Structure 1
Amino acid sequence: MSRLNTNQLSLAYGNRNIVRELNLQVPDGLITALVGANGSGKSTILKSLARILAPAQGGVYLDGKLIHRLPTKEVAKQLAILPQNPSAPEGLTVRELVAFGRYPHQKGFGNLTSEDNRMIDWAIQATGMSAFGDRAVDHLSGGQRQRAWIAMALAQGTEVLLLDEPTTFLDMAHQMEVMNLLEKLNKEQKRTIIMVVHDLNHAARYAQHLVALKAGTVLYEGHPETVMTCDMLRDVFNIDADIIPDPRTGAPLCLPYGLVEDQESEASPSLVAANVQEPIERQRVQAMA
């Protein structure tokens, strides 16, 4: 089942085509990770799924309806997005930030209702930020700030969360802190989470569904154990790597050891996209088998 999907979606910035005829089904109740090299279209796709970027052709569908034709508040009640490197006004407290998540539900003068306050309290508690409710967001550590922003997204009360590189610029401990929180939200509350991830080992460990992109085209899609292969790493990232099972979780671990040096690595994105169109369906079937 998929509440959120695309149909022949093409995306562009001006005259520059980024994504072409994308057909993507986001599995409900799972963590989906979008992976790919820089410029592969990951963040662009996420923006379109969140109704931030309008399609050049095709469309994004939420519960069978074109998302770009739905009222903004209606969409905001069903999905929330956390962009890259969000910033809050100086001095804004965690509770004040989280309260912004209730905006889609407010009427009239926007006064907080008892339900709004209940959801704010719950979101702060769920993200482990109860001790920081009155603390200024700009006085928090990197991991704490990310948890505060995730709390704001949770306060929207949506079933779908979209996150663009949620661990960027965080140290290893804070990265695990954020990823463990997302895993908890997915397992305990069945939240559907779609996230752009640079760290392939994070993607394989925490996601149940991987989408590997190159030049705006899906090359591989499916469970991490079938997608995280040496062929995928060569085709998508132009690297040679060993894949071994994580000794603790069993998830595939990527150990890169070299770059693939061939003519394709020097090709333009448009030529790469043309070259991968023919085998895409075969690769997708293999990955999802």
Structure 2
Amino acid sequence: MTRLSTDQLCLGYGSRQIVQELNLSVPDGLITALVGANGSGKSTILKSMARILTPSTGGVYLDGKLIHRQPTKEVAKHLAILPQNPTSPEGLTVRELVSFGRYPHQKGFGILSPEDNRMIEWALEATGMSGFAGRPVDHLSGGQRQRAWIAMALAQGTEVLLLDEPTTFLDMAHQMEVMILLEKLNKEQKRTIIMVVHDLNHAARYAQHLVALKDGSVLYEGDPEVVMTSQMLRDVFNIDADIIPDPRTGAPLCLPYGLAEESVASRSSHGIPAVNAQTSGEYREQRVKAMA
């Protein structure tokens, strides 16, 4: 079963087509990662799923209904989005930011109801931001700021979260802080999460479903163990890499070492055989034996 899907979806900006005839079903209750090179259509697809970008043809479906024909407030009760690099007015506190997530549920003059306040407090606690509720958002660290925005999305009370590169411009510790939070939300609250991710190792470790895109089309889709292969990396990113099991989690770990054409030329000039799926598989098998 899937609540969110696309059918023959075509997207573009002006006369430039980015995505053509995309058919995609997002599995419920899982973290789905959209991966691909810059310009592959990842963020464009996410914007269309969030009803920000209108399709040229085809459509996005939420619960079997075209999402672009549904009222904005109605869609916002089921689906929340965290865009790239969100910004807030100077001096806005964390609690004020999170309260904006209750907008779809408010009536009249936008006065917060007891249920609104309950959801705000719950979102702050779930993201570990209760202690920062009165602090201005622009005074937070990068990781804290991202958690505050995620808390706003949680306060909407939606079953589906869309996140566009949630770890961009964050250092390693703050990246892990955000990814661990998303993993927790998925496991403990069964949230369906669709995120655009540039770090392939983050995608393979934290997502249960990978969609690899190139030129607006899906080239590979499925479990990380199935999708994350040397062949996929050549086809989608034009790089050569070994895929080995993560020593702690067992998730596929990408070790890139060069661009595909350059790597092949370099190996040939030095009399080194090119790495293929078979030799990569043998390497992974050797690593597994060494770890046992």
TM-score (normalised: structure 1): 0.90
Q: Deviations over 1:6-54 (max 9, x none)?
A: 0000001000000000000000000000000000000000000000000
Give distance in 2, aligned partners of 1:249 and 1:128: 25
Residue 31 of structure 1 corresponds to which residue in structure 2?
Answer: 31
Matched residue SS, 1:145? helix
Let me know the Cα RMSD of the aligned residues. Answer: 0.6
Q: Give the secondary structure class of the aligned counterpart of 1:22.
A: strand
Q: What is the aligned partner in structure 2 of residue 58 from structure 1?
A: 58
Q: How far did residue 153 of structure 1 move?
A: 0.1
- Partner amino acid, structure 1, of 2:217: T
Match of 2:16 in 1: 16
1:237-288, Cα deviation, whole Å (9 max, x unpaired): 00000000000000000000110128xxxxxxxxxxxxxxxxxxxxxxxxxx
Taking the aligned partners of 2:189 and 2:8, their CA distance within structure 1 comes to: 31
Aligned to 2:193: 193
Deviation at 1:161, TM superposition (A): 0.1
Counterpart secondary structure, 1:261: helix
Runs of 4+ residues over 3 Å off in structure 1: none
| Aligned amino acid, residue 214 of structure 1 | K
1:272-283 matches, within 5 Å, as: none
**What is the distance in 2 between the residues matched to 1:258 and 1:124?**
43
Tell me the equivalent position of 2:280.
Answer: none
The correspondence of residues 68-107 of structure 1 with structure 2, limited to 5 A, is 68-107=68-107
Structure 1 residue 70 displacement after superposition: 0.0
Q: Amino acid of the residue matched to residue 25 of structure 2?
A: Q
Q: TM-score by structure 2 length?
A: 0.89
Aligned to 1:208: 208
How many corresponding residue pairs? Answer: 262
Partner letter of residue 139 of structure 1? Answer: H
Residue type of the alignment partner of 1:70: Q
CA distance in 1, matches of 2:153, 2:238: 35
Counterpart of 1:86 in 2: which secondary structure? coil
Separation in structure 2 between the aligned mates of residue 89 and residue 12 of structure 1, nearest angstrom: 30
**Aligned letter for 2:139?**
H
SS of residue paired to 1:193: strand
Residue by residue, what CA displacement relative to the aligned partner does 1:129-150 show, whole Å, maximum 9, x if unpaired? 0110000000000000000000
What SS does the corresponding residue of 1:24 show, helix, strand or coil? strand
Q: Tell me, what secondary structure is at the counterpart of 2:195?
A: strand
Aligned to 1:282: none
1:128 corresponds in structure 2 to 128
Match of 2:261, SS? coil
Q: Distance in 1 between matches of 2:9 and 2:21?
A: 5
CA distance in 2, matches of 1:249, 1:20: 36
1:213-252 aligned within 5 A: 213-252=213-252
Which amino acid in 2 is paired with 1:235? D
Q: Give, as a single letter, the amino acid of the residue that structure 2 aligns with 1:130.
A: S
Residue 21 of structure 1 aligns to a residue whose secondary structure is strand
Q: For structure 1, list consecutive stretches of 5 or more residues without a partner in the other structure.
A: 263-289
What per-residue deviation string (whole Å, max 9, x for no partner) do you get for residues 49-101 of structure 1?
Answer: 00000000100000000000000000000000000000000000000000000
Secondary structure of 1:23's partner? strand
Larger Rg: 2
CA distance in 1, matches of 2:217, 2:261: 21
Shift of 1:151: 0.1
- Aligned mates of 2:110, 2:234 — CA distance in 1: 52
- Taking the aligned partners of 1:243 and 1:120, their CA distance within structure 2 comes to 42
Match of 2:282 in 1: none
Deviation at 1:231, TM superposition (A): 0.4
